[in-house]
Amino acid sequence: MFNEERKLEKAIRWGMVGGGRGSEIGHAHRAGAARDGLFQLQAGAFDLNEERGREFGTNLGVDASRCYKDYQSMFAAEAAREDGIQAVSIATPNSTHHAISKAALEAGLHVVCEKPLAFTVEQSKELKVLAEKNNRIFAVMYGYSGYPMLHQAREMVKRGDLGDVRIINMQFAHGFHNTAVEEHSPGAKWRMNPEISGPTYVLGDLGTHVFHMAEMITDLEVDELCCVRQSFVKSRAPLEDNANVIIKFKGGAIGNLWASSVNAGSMHQQQIRVIGEKASFEWWDEHPNQLRYEVQGKPAQLMDRGMDYLYGDDPGVCSRIGGGHAEGFFESWANLYHRYALAMQAADANDQATLGSLWYPNVDAGINGVRLLECCVESADNNSKWVKF
């Protein structure tokens, strides 16, 4: 079980780009990063609007002189300070991720960037090269992958509890955008605009999460895929509000992924089911403390977080309270930020052993998410042809 004994000599001096007042995901970053005291928010370019960003930042306790008008001035001014930030999280709309990440890496910062990482695989690979050259950690915020029961799932596949994996069923299909809500919601509006959202909507916004989950749990690599996508709300074209992808994995497993924002009546419906030769499991993000495990010929079992029959927490992603209590989204994010902090410390100390053993959603996971989108668009726009991954 987790406790908050100190893991770093000093908290990492941390800044944010985006995540300003009213943003959807800014608070999740701050809550996740602050949870274990491993990051301290000291600077920010929180908002496109300078005044609003400064007012917001000072209300968070950041000194007004370190609430900047944009990321360029923040990186330059912070680099000139002895006590300047060491890491930055980027929680801005998709079109900005590549440029801000690149500038952050060039300024010598560790980076936590939102997904989808960039518009193209080429841009994403450029970030990987830069991060490696500068010995910086580059993490991608697949925020669900800190849930302990997904790590139990990963361990079960590793230990062969399912036998060889045959089928992976992935879906993230909410109903919040079943009508043109973008007409009055700024957060929805940019997601439907290809110049800001990129070449996809639901595939990037939702599909990348559950795709990453499949990769993380099974370690399987994609061979090829085909995709069909629709814009049920016509004004969203060319971006899709519904998509289905069939994925062939190397070694013979098959996957199907459904991403949708027009699943009317649904809250989230983010689910992954992994089916092996002898057993299957299923996880729902609306019930993240449980994993349903089904062995052919036996009664189904509902496994619960925090119980002794699990394979055990690892030091980075773990239960924070005993079984039976509810843990949720912010604990998942805290688990990830915890790992990012350990990775950043290890990178600074050139501690290759720790870096080699520590799992977290890294730049490769980000690149694969973008590759998924590129391949899906190529397939869907060419009569759903099969595309090599």
Ligand X SMILES: NC(=O)c1ccc[n+]([C@@H]2O[C@H](COP(=O)([O-])OP(=O)(O)OC[C@H]3O[C@@H](n4cnc5c(N)ncnc54)[C@H](O)[C@@H]3O)[C@@H](O)[C@H]2O)c1
| Sign, Cα dihedral of 184, 185, 186, 191 | negative
CB of 243 to ligand X, least distance (A): 16
Q: For ligand X, which is the closer residue by CB, 45 or 105?
A: 45
Residue number of the CB closest to ligand X reads 20
Note the helical H segments in 185-289: 186-191, 194-197, 202, 208-218
CB of 280 to ligand X, least distance (A): 26
Q: If you write DSSP's letter for every residue of 232-245 in order, what string do you get?
A: SSGGGTTS-SEEEE
Neighbours of 347 (CB within 10 A): 19
List 15's β-bridge partners, or say none: 43, 88
What tokens appear for 228 in the block? 């069909």
Range 147-178 burial, b when 16+ CB lie within 10 A, else e: bbbbbbbbebbeeebbeebeebbbbbbbbebb
The answer, yes or no, to whether the previous bond of 361 is cis (omega within 30 of 0) is: no
Q: For ligand X, which is the closer residue by CB, 114 or 313?
A: 114
CB of 133 to ligand X, least distance (A): 25
Q: What are the residues whose beta carbons fall under 8 Å from the beta carbon of 382, sequence distance 6 or more?
A: none
CB of 386 to ligand X, least distance (A): 28
> Would you tell me which residues interact with ligand X (CB under 6 A)?
17-20, 23-25, 45, 47-48, 70-71, 91-94, 96, 114-115, 141, 143, 187, 190, 205
Cα–Cα distance measured from residue 339 to residue 110, given in angstroms and rounded to the nearest whole number: 13
CB of 370 to ligand X, least distance (A): 12
Residue 348: burial class (beta carbons within 10 Å; 0-12, 13-18, 19+): middle
CB of 204 to ligand X, least distance (A): 7
Say how many CA atoms lie within 13 Å of 131 toward its Cβ. Answer: 24
Q: For ligand X, which is the closer residue by CB, 33 or 162?
A: 33
Q: For ligand X, which is the closer residue by CB, 68 or 293?
A: 68
Q: Coil, strand or helix: which one is 276?
A: strand
Whole-Å CA distances, 249 to 151, 205, 215? 21, 22, 10
Q: For ligand X, which is the closer residue by CB, 163 or 187?
A: 187
Q: For ligand X, which is the closer residue by CB, 112 or 130?
A: 112
CB of 313 to ligand X, least distance (A): 22
Q: For ligand X, which is the closer residue by CB, 197 or 280?
A: 197
Q: For ligand X, which is the closer residue by CB, 46 or 293?
A: 46
CB of 87 to ligand X, least distance (A): 16
